[in-house]
Amino acid sequence: MPSTPYLLAVLAIVFTITLALRAVPFAVLGRLRESAIVRRLAVWMPVGILMILAVTALRGTIVSDPHGIWFALLAVAVTIGVHLAFGRRTILSVGLGTAVYVVLLNAL
C-alpha cells in the first residue's frame, strides 16, 4: 500500500490537471466567441454527439433483432419531429423518442 503523502500528492496532481482541463476551454472561449468556427461548432456539435450516441445505443438492438430497425427509425423520427415542433427542447424530444422506442420494443 502506498504511503499517505504519496496518495495525497497523486490526488493533488489529479485535482490540478482536472481543474486545468475544465477551466481552459472557458478561458479560451471568451476570446473565440466571435469566431465563425465556434458558432458553427455550437450548431453542429450537439447534433453530432446525439447521432453518435443514438448509433452506439441502437446498434446492438438492431443487429440482434431485425425488426428493431423499424422501431429505431420510428423513434428517431419522433425525436426529430418533437425536437423541431416544440422549440428544440432536447430533454423532451429525446425523452419522447426513447419512450416510443421502449414501448415499441416491449409491446410488439
Residue-wise pLDDT for 53-72, tens only, equals 878 877 777 777 777 788 88
Same structural domain, 68 and 27: no
Same structural domain, 61 and 96: yes
| Number of compact structural domains in the chain | 2
**pLDDT at residue 39, as a whole number:** 83
**pLDDT at residue 57, as a whole number:** 78
Same structural domain, 61 and 28: no
**pLDDT at residue 77, as a whole number:** 92
Residue 89 inside a domain? The answer is yes
**pLDDT at residue 4, as a whole number:** 94
Domain enclosing residue 9, as ranges: 1-33
98 contacts 75 by C-beta, under 8 angstroms: yes
**pLDDT at residue 78, as a whole number:** 94
User: How far are the Cα atoms of 61, 67, 105 from residue 96, in angstroms, in the given order?
Assistant: 18, 20, 14
Nearest C-alpha neighbor of 61 from the set 94, 107, 102: 102
Over 80: is that where the pLDDT of 108 sits?
A: no
**Per-residue cell: 87:** 422549440
pTM: 0.55
**How many Å apart are CA 5 and CA 20, to the nearest integer?**
22
